Amino acid sequence: MTEQRRLQTSLPAESIAKATGLTTERVRAALDGDSSARVSDLVMVGGLLGVTPKELMP
């Protein structure tokens, strides 16, 4: 069983999506550290939150 984790942030995924231009589903995948998340999504979401893409990945 894979461990599910989500980066703790006070910003809702919808707000992050609006700020980055990504879909809410792609933002959630990046926050969850989902293997389907694109590297570019991790970079944009991480940049907005002040974390590195590596910190978003499991």
pLDDT in tens, the chain (58 residues): 344 556 678 889 999 999 999 999 999 999 998 989 999 999 999 999 999 999 988 7
Q: Please report the pLDDT score of residue 1 as a whole number.
A: 39
Q: What was the pLDDT predicted at 40? A: 96
3-state SS record for the chain: CCCCCCCCCCCCHHHHHHHHCCCHHHHHHHHHCCCCCCHHHHHHHHHHHCCCHHHHCC
Domain extent listing, the chain:
13-56
Please answer whether residues 48 and 16 qualify as being in contact, where contact means their C-beta atoms are separated by less than 8 angstroms: yes
Q: What is residue 24's predicted lDDT score, i.e. its pLDDT?
A: 97
